[in-house]
């Protein structure tokens, strides 16, 4: 998918350059400015994730999320998912490994869902773009939706 | 110190603090410290690999797509087309959710409806096509399909809720801020 994105961006850039050099240069300048704007937050987020993932091991996490952990385990899973920020291609194998080492489906669904939809670490960044109210409302709604989703998954799987 | 440099230092203040914390961990708990540096490094590479095309496309969108066009397809009165387009943009994207925020702002600046922008954010966070495929292979087709079905509904509900929470003034403020950036 990333490769497709590169091809698409390169093709768009080529078409743009053929139509107007000035506009293309302006577009690249704008691209750089938008990127440079969020660079400090990006770097900070990366370090926070690094420290967190280095501190907690998958075995520690799956100990908390066993099938018998019930509602407490569900809440813990949702909170871990909300705080941590793990790229999807790491998260799904991790979730599969946690399931194999004894975690429950309900807890894993809550973890996966909050991981992707709720972002506590990135909240300051989100507030910067959308304001406090919108950012908190979106994250809170996503959190409760994830709990509901997990309950359904726990029954259905 | 030149004001320009001082300004940059201020922007990177929090990052420098965290880097110092990481160095301290490295000094006192070498094993944890090394691990965290490795993880940060690989995440940085991942981020740098997906971000350039996203921002180039953003720049091109900014320069070439007319405001009227965006309003027509994603603005007020764009109806189901706007919703589907928002779903598609979010699902076809790559990169973490925080890479979606600048995209959201660019759409807003060009005149997209706020609720459509929230739908794009929702899709970006959880129905990205490559991730969905990967989820099926790691956790099984049933797990993936169940979650996808609920997510499509959930994204719409979350977008609707987020928009309802905001007053008219607050929505205008967000759009105003977007047009300034």
Q: Measured between alpha carbons, how far is A63 from A52 in angstroms, rounded to an integer?
A: 17
The residue ranges of chain A whose pLDDT is under 50 are none
Q: What is the pLDDT of residue A130?
A: 94
Residue range A28-68, pLDDT digits in tens: 998 898 888 778 877 887 888 788 778 877 677 777 788 77
Q: Does A51 touch chain B (CB under 8 A)?
A: yes
Does the interface ipTM go beyond 0.85? no
Q: What is the pLDDT of residue A3?
A: 82
| Residue A127: strand, helix, or coil | helix
Contacts of B55 in chain A (CB under 8 A): 31-32, 34-35
Q: What is the pLDDT of residue B57?
A: 86
Residue ranges per structural domain of chain B: 1-50, 65-180
Q: Does B26 touch chain A (CB under 8 A)?
A: no
Q: Does B145 touch chain A (CB under 8 A)?
A: no
Q: At what angle do helices B13-28 and A21-55 cross, to 10 degrees?
A: 40
CA distances from B152 to A66, A145, A149, B25, B83 (A): 28, 12, 12, 42, 11
Q: What is the pLDDT of residue B50?
A: 76
At residue B78, what are phi and psi to the nearest 5 degrees?
Answer: -80, -15
Q: What is the pLDDT of residue B160?
A: 94
Q: Which of residues 54-113 of A touch B (CB under 8 A)?
A: 54-55, 85, 87-89, 92-93, 95-96, 99, 105, 108-109, 112-113
Q: Measured between alpha carbons, how far is A100 from B179 in angstroms, rounded to an integer?
A: 49
Residue range B74-122, pLDDT digits in tens: 998 899 999 999 999 888 877 788 889 988 998 998 889 999 999 999 9
* Distance, C-alpha A105 to centroid of its chain: 19
Q: Measured between alpha carbons, how far is A15 from A7 in angstroms, rounded to an integer?
A: 12
Q: Which residues make beta-bridge pairs with A103?
A: A66
Q: Which residues make beta-bridge pairs with A66?
A: A103
Cβ separation A142–B43 shorter than 8 A? no
Q: What is the pLDDT of residue A68?
A: 79
Q: What is the pLDDT of residue A65?
A: 83
Q: What is the pLDDT of residue A1?
A: 63
> Nearest residue on chain A to B123, judged by CA atoms?
A117
The residue ranges of chain B whose pLDDT is under 50 are none
């Amino acid at each position: 998918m990333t490769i497709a994105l590169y091809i698409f961006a390169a093709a768009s850039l080529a078409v743009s350059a053929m139509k107007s050099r000035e506009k293309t240069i302006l577009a690249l300048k704008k691209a750089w400015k938008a990127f440079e704007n969020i660079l400090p937050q990006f770097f900070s987020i990366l370090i926070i994730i690094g420290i967190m993932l280095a501190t907690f091991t998958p075995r520690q996490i799956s100990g908390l999320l066993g099938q018998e952990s019930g509602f407490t385990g569900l809440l813990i899973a949702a909170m871990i998912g909300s705080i941590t920020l793990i790229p999807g291609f790491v998260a799904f194998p991790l979730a599969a490994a946690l399931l194999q080492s004894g975690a429950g489906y309900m807890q894993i669904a809550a973890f996966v869902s909050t991981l992707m939809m709720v972002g506590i670490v990135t909240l300051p960044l989100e507030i910067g773009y959308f304001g406090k109210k919108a950012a908190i409302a979106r994250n809170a709604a996503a959190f409760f939706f994830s709990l509901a989703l997990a309950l359904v998954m726990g029954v259905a799987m | 110190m030149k004001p320009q440099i001082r300004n940059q230092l201020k922007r990177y203040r929090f990052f420098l603090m965290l880097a110092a914390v990481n160095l301290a961990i490295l000094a006192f708990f070498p094993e944890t410290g090394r691990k965290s540096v490795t993880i940060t490094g690989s995440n940085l590479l991942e981020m740098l690999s997906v971000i350039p095309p996203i921002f180039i496309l953003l720049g091109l969108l900014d320069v070439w797509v007319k405001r009227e066009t965006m309003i027509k397809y994603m603005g007020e009165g764009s109806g189901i087309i706007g919703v589907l387009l928002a779903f598609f943009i979010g699902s076809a994207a790559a990169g973490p959710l925080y890479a979606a925020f600048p995209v959201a702002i660019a759409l807003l600046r060009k005149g997209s409806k706020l609720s459509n922008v929230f739908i794009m954010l929702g899709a970006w966070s959880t129905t990205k096509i490559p991730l969905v495929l990967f989820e099926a292979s790691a956790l099984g087709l049933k797990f993936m399909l169940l979650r996808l079905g609920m997510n499509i509904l959930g994204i719409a509900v979350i977008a609707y809720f987020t928009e309802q929470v905001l007053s008219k003034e607050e929505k205008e403020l967000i759009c105003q801020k977007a047009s300034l950036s």
